[in-house]
Amino acid sequence: GETSVGELEALTGVGQPGLSQQLAILRKAALVSTRRAAKLVYYSIAPEAAAPAAAFLARLAVPQGSDQAPRRRARGSAATFARIL
């Protein structure tokens, strides 16, 4: 779904300036989409980026040649951010 910068800040604990910088990088890489409503900007994962990003993250979770299932990572701000978007 969509999430505003303020909502992301509250959910992740990452300050607004740093969060905005990271979102700008993701936007330039076409990984997130934006929608403006008055003074708020809402972010969501770009539909065309969702499947490739999920496949990439799945490959990182399991070592090459391993039969292991992906392990869950600790709940850090990056993991929280990924779940939110």
Q: Supply the CATH number for residue 38's domain.
A: 1.10.10.10
Res 26: pLDDT:
92
**How far apart, in whole angstroms, are the C-alpha atoms of residue 3 and residue 22?**
14
pLDDT in tens, the chain (85 residues): 899 999 999 999 999 999 999 999 999 999 999 999 999 999 999 988 888 888 888 888 877 666 655 555 555 555 555 666 6
Distances (CA, A) of 7 to 45, 48, 55, 73: 15, 24, 27, 23
30 inside domain: yes
Tell whether 43 is covered by a domain.
yes
pTM: 0.61
Domain residue limits at 41: 3-64+73-80
Instruction: For residue 27, tell me if it sits in a domain.
Output: yes
The domain tally of the chain equals 1
In a domain, 85, yes or no: no
Taking the C-alpha atoms of residue 76 and residue 55, their distance in angstroms, rounded to an integer, is: 21
